[in-house]
Amino acid sequence: MSARGSSNRADIVIVGAGVMGLAIAYNLAARGGRRIVVLDAHYLAWGASGRNGGGVRQQWSTEMNVRLMQESTEICSRFAEEMGINVWMRRGGYLFLARTKAAGGQLERNVTLQNRCDLPTRMIALDEARDLVPELEIGPGAGSSGGDATRFVAACYNPTDAIVFPWPFLWGYARAAERRGVKIQTGVPVTAIERQGDDFVLTTPAGALTAGRVVCAAGAWSPRVARLAGGALPDRPVRHEILSTEPLKPFLKPMVSVIESGLYVSQSLRGELVGGVSMPEETNPDGEVRLGSRLDFLTTMARGLVTLMPRLGHVKVVRQWAGPYDVSPDGNPIVGELPGVPGFYVVCGFGGHGFMMAPVVARHYAAYLEGEPPHPFFTAWRADRFTPGGAPPSVDREEMIIG
Amino acid sequence: MSRKVILCRCEDVTLADVQHAVKLGRGDLEEVKRYTGFGTGPCQGKECLREVARAVAEATGSDPATLSPFTARPPLVPVELGVLAAAGRSPTSSTRK
């Protein structure tokens, strides 16, 4: 196939058909007038978009993330109606629990910020946490002093946070994008990206593709794609694991998360408990994405769950799997044009919350690509903050990266 | 008729659901699993995988032998959280790269 044929030419090629790439394609196509192609090496939902826990929360420690997630939650709440697909969204809120005074102080600072953003989060008494989730083991002598490691000292709750089933977001965005003329090609890995004048030529097993601009929406695989284009990205993949239990009758209203251990668990509308927990970061000098499952995670998570809710001891685990967090050096995302590669745009480094952020980030990303005044996150998260002599580093560090 | 033929009993996935997924272009078992949810319940595909594979092969006109099963996830059989919690710290093991 000729790379110069008009059918192999696109205005914008998006590499990565995860939720971010598909949502950007949809938002661009909704504006019309561009020829857009989305390429993915695998099938829809193969990557992190198909492997995450489906949390959609607005409880963050930075104003940028709180406000963005308020907008994203709003988009999610209308998604089923507007896109005609059930995303199994349930607004049961998020309950954060702290076992130490330091973590409790973090929750209090979060609540102050979130209230300023008109989010109804509040610190709640441990008795109220137990009213919300009667199965919780709040700990011996709750409310009194003592150094018991299983005892909680603080809790906060926002009733408007939610969970979703991630997969239908991909079908919804893909179908809506295709109806507006976007071409989505799965099973088509990009093996080379070369400059040809002002254009890029992307080599794939399905032929070459010429594009004026390239958007790399490959999540934790972004550094590899950037290298093909002669650029460099500083984010790294970190394996995180999740387990899912047999379905149970609905009993657990909020997503429950423990700050110190990074444990989180929710009950999906399918009835399964779905959750994960922080594990020590493995050494990964080659920077490859690792997706194997580990017994160590299973036992660590099981211990965390039965400590948190002893009644779960007889509930059976049916499945575990892994996915990559895409982690940048300062924990904040990396967006915009990649330094040294004009016309090559990145949107990565979301550190495990890219799925919930995608609806809002993609909306503003499309506007940015169309030349509209960029949303402030394009300044805060610009890619050249990691290049010597580039932008100053991000000021606000997000403290609420969980899992 | 195909609406009444249940292929995945854990998740109530019917023959019609599988045919619909194929019609939408979901041609392999990983995609059909994700689109219909088949094989994600307590049996993890041990009862339904063969039947769904046959239905997909028939709907796509392909040889069932060319269809790969979806990735098997641990544990091999459902295990109680209490049993896993009591298993204590085990050496890290990996089932796949």
Q: Is the pLDDT of residue B7 over 70?
A: yes
Residues A170-180 have pLDDT tens digits of: 999 999 999 99
In chain A, how many domains are there? Answer: 2
Q: B49: domain CATH number?
A: 1.10.10.1100
- Gyration radius of chain A's alpha carbons: 21
Distance CA B70, CA A375 (A): 41
Q: Within an 8 Å CB–CB cutoff, is residue B94 touching chain A?
A: yes
Span A271-290, average pLDDT: 94
Residue found by looking up tokens 């049961």 in the block:
A92
Min CA distance, B68 vs chain A (Å)?
Answer: 14
**Contact between A294 and B78 using a beta-carbon 8 Å cutoff:** no
| Contact by Cβ (8 Å): A70, A62 | no
| Contact by Cβ (8 Å): A9, A17 | no
Contacts with B90 from chain A: Cβ below 8 Å: 295-296, 299
**Contact between B87 and A299 using a beta-carbon 8 Å cutoff:** yes
Is residue A248 located within the same domain as residue A231? no
A384 burial level (CB within 10 Å; 0-12, 13-18, 19+): middle
Nearest to B44 among A167, A296, A318 (CB): A318
Contacts with B81 from chain A: Cβ below 8 Å: 245, 302, 305-306, 312-317
**Contact between A319 and B30 using a beta-carbon 8 Å cutoff:** no
Kindly provide the residue ranges of all beta strands, DSSP E only, lying in A76-219, ordered along the sequence.
94-98, 122-124, 154-158, 162-163, 183-185, 192-196, 199-204, 207-216
Nearest CA in chain B to A175: B24
Domain that holds residue A97: 91-161+236-325
CA angle at residue A56 from A50 to A59, to 5 degrees? 140
Is residue A152 located within the same domain as residue A276? yes
Which conformational region is residue A301 in: left (phi greater than 0), alpha (psi within -120 to 50 degrees), or beta? alpha
Nearest to B80 among A44, A171, A314 (CB): A314
DSSP assigned state of A61: S
Q: Is residue B60 part of a domain?
A: yes
| Contact by Cβ (8 Å): A158, A119 | yes
Residues A134-145 have pLDDT tens digits of: 999 987 654 444
Residues B45-78 have pLDDT tens digits of: 999 999 999 999 999 999 988 899 999 999 999 9
Q: Within an 8 Å CB–CB cutoff, is residue B35 touching chain A?
A: yes
Is residue A38 located within the same domain as residue A177? yes
Q: What is the ipTM of this complex?
A: 0.91
**pLDDT score of A143:** 47
Q: Is the pLDDT of residue A3 over 90?
A: no
Give which of A329, A349, A325, A237 is closest to A286, Cα–Cα: A237
Is residue A228 located within the same domain as residue A240? no
Nearest to A306 among B79, B81, B96 (CB): B81
Residues A29-43 have pLDDT tens digits of: 999 989 999 999 999
Rounded to two decimals, the pTM is 0.94
Nearest CA in chain A to B84: A299
Nearest to A312 among B73, B81, B92 (CB): B81
**Contact between A246 and B95 using a beta-carbon 8 Å cutoff:** no
Is residue A216 located within the same domain as residue A337? yes
Domain that holds residue B57: 6-71
Is residue A172 located within the same domain as residue A300? no
Q: A373: domain CATH number?
A: 3.50.50.60
Distance CA A273, CA A245 (A): 5
| Contact by Cβ (8 Å): A254, A132 | yes
